[in-house]
Amino acid sequence: MNIEDTLKRMAASGIKQVRLAWCDVHGELRSKTLMPLAVEDALHNGIGMVGTLALKDSSDRTAFKVFEAAGMPDMPELANASNLTLRPILTSYQELPWAPGTAWLQGQLYHANGRPLAVDTRHVLQTALEQLQAQGYGLRCGLEVEFHIYKIESTRPQTDPDLAAWPGLPPAVSMLHPGYRLLSEQYADACEAPLAIVRDTAQALGLPLASLEIEFGPSQFEAVFEATDAMTAADQMTLFKSATRQALRRAGYHASFMCRPPFPHIMSSGWHLHQSLVKLGDGSNALALPAAEQSTEDWYKRAMAPLQALLPLPKPLEAASYLSTVGCHYLAGLLAHARGAAPLSNPSINAYARFAPHALAPQSVVWGHDNRGAMLRVIAPRDAVQASRIENRVGEPMANPYLYIAAQIYAGLDGIARQAAPPLASSSPYAAGAQQLPGSLDDALAALQADSVLCAGFGQSFVDYFSQIKRFEIARYSAAQDPVDWQRREIFSRF
C-alpha cells in the first residue's frame, strides 16, 4: 500500500480515527490517536513523540536523568525530553475489529535528521537480520505463547481514586478454569466465550493463529502460530498481545502475559520460539540434513526396524544426526550465548523462578532431540525434513520479540562463524552438572555484559541502555516493602 491507497481505504471504511503505535523496549505498544484531518500529513511526515518514551522502565518512570548535563552521555539527542519522529509503516495498516471506526498503523522512531533511533527495538532486529542476510540466510520463526485470562469481578481496585498509586492496582479477578487438566475439552468448552474473542480478533487482524489450547495451570492458555519470516513474526507477536488484552478487556476479562501471576497456586507461562534458517538463494531450510545423509539414515532405519521392534534403540546424541553442518554450528552458538541472551528473552524480575526442575521449563543450558525438558529442543522429522527447526523454550511471554529474536541471530551467527561444535544431546536435562541458566535478572544482566559477542552485535551502548533500565527496576523491587504487591501493580496490572 502507498499513502494514496491507505487514504482511500480509510475513506471507504468510514474510519474516524487512526492509532499510530510504537513498540517500546518492554514490548508494549504506545500510540497517538489521530483524527482524519491529521492523518495525511502524518503519513507523509510522521508525528512528534516525546523521546522519554524510549527511556521508561516498566512502571513508566524515566530511568535516565534527562534534565542533567551529564545524564545522557550516550544519547545526548534524547536529553531534555526532546521529540522524536514516529513514521508509519504503511504495510502494517489494520482496522481494529474490537474498536469500530478505528484504524491502526505501527511506526518506528527516527531523529529529526532522519537517522533511525538506535535503541528502537524494531530497528535493532532489522540490523541483526541484515547481518544474517549478509551471510546468505534468512530466519523463519513460529510462536507458541502461554498466557493467563481471568474474569474481571470488580474494577474498583483499579478505578477507585482513593486507591490510585504509581503504578495502580489491577482489577479484582476470578479464574476461568481450575487447571491441572492439560488440553481438557471440558475446560475448552467452558472457556469458549473468551477464547472466541481471542480467535476472532487474531483472525480479523490476519494473524496466522493455528490453535488455542488449554494449558496446564489454572486459567492458563496457549496460542500457537504458523511460522513466518522473523520480522513478521515479531510484529505479529507485538500486535497479538496488545490486541488480545484490549479486546478481552472490553468483554470483561483481564489477560496477562506475566510469566508468574501473583497468586499462590499458578503455573509459569513460557514463550517457545521455533526457528529455522533459510537459504536466501533457493528458500530451502538450511538446518535440514542434506538429501544424501537423509537417504543413508533412512536406509539404516529400515535395516534396523526389525531389531528396534524387539528392543528400542537409543536415539543418537550427536547433533549431526538431525541437523546440517550449518545447523550444528547455529545450535552451538545458541548454547554458547544462552546465559548472556537470558535478559532479552526473560526481561522481568518475575520470570526466573520458572527455571525449575521437571516444570516443562529449562533449567540448564542443554539441547535434546524432541526433549521438552531441554532448553533447545531439536525437531527433525524424517518424513518432512524441511520442517527441521530448533525450539528455544527459554523465553517468557513478556519478552520484547525484536530483542528475543535478535539475540538468537547474533548467537547463532557466532556459532557459524567459529564453526562451533555442539555437545552431545542431553537425555537428562534436569541432572546436576550442566551449566545453569541465570537465577535472577541481576545475574542475567551480568552475563549479558560479560558476553562480548552479544555486546558487539547489539552494540555496547544498547546493552548499557537496556541494563540501566532493568537495574532501575531491580533497585525499586529490592526496596519494596511487599514484593508480591509490587509485582501485582508493576506487572500483572500492566502486562
Which uninterrupted H or E stretch holds 493?
Answer: none
Answer with the one of 93, 117, 141 that is the final residue of a domain. Answer: 117
133 lies in some domain: no
Residue 78: what pLDDT?
A: 85
pLDDT category, 385, cuts 50, 70, 90? Answer: confident
Q: Is the pLDDT score of 406 beyond 90?
A: yes
10 Å CB burial of residue 265 (0-12, 13-18, 19+) is: exposed
Asked whether residue 40 is domain-assigned, the answer is yes
**Could you give the dihedral angle defined by the CA atoms of residues 366, 368, 370 and 371, in that order, rounded to the nearest 10 degrees?**
-60
**pLDDT, position 311:** 54
Please indicate, yes or no, if residue 437 is contained in any of the structural domains. yes
In a domain, 244, yes or no: no
Mean pLDDT (whole number) for 41-70: 93
d(Cα 116, Cα 123) in Å, to the nearest integer?
A: 7
Whether residue 302 is contained in a domain is answered as yes
pLDDT tens column, 178-192: 999 999 999 999 999
What is the DSSP code string of 199-218?
A: HHHHHHTT--EEEEEE-SST
Residue 69 pLDDT exceeds 90:
no
State the pLDDT at residue 303.
Answer: 53
Residue 295: per-residue pLDDT: 47
Q: Summarize the confidence of residues 41-63 as an average pLDDT.
A: 95
Contact by Cβ (8 Å): 152, 172: yes
Full residue range of the structural domain in which residue 48 is found: 13-63+82-117
Query: Looking up cell 548472556, which residue turns up?
Result: 340
Q: How many CB atoms lie within 10 A of CB 310?
A: 6
pLDDT digits (tens, 9 = 90+) for 266-320: 999 999 999 999 999 999 999 999 875 554 445 445 555 555 555 555 678 999 9
Instruction: Kindly state the average pLDDT of the residues 344-373.
Output: 93
- Given a cut of 70, whether residue 145 has pLDDT beyond it is yes
Query: How many independent structural domains does the chain possess?
Result: 2
Residue 10 CB burial class (10 angstroms; 0-12, 13-18, ≥19)? buried
389 in any annotated domain: yes
Residue 168 pLDDT > 70, yes or no? Answer: yes
The CATH number assigned to the domain holding 92 equals 3.10.20.70
∠ CA 172-169-199, nearest 5°, is: 60
Q: Angle at which helices 401-418 and 230-250 pack, to 10 degrees? A: 160
pLDDT of residue 152: 98
For residue 89, being part of any structural domain is answered with: yes
Report field, pTM of the whole predicted structure over 0.85: yes
In a domain, 362, yes or no: yes
Q: What is the DSSP track for 137-203? A: EEEEEEEEEEEEEEEEEE-HHHH-GGG--SS-PPPEEEES----STT-HHHHHHTHHHHHHHHHHHH
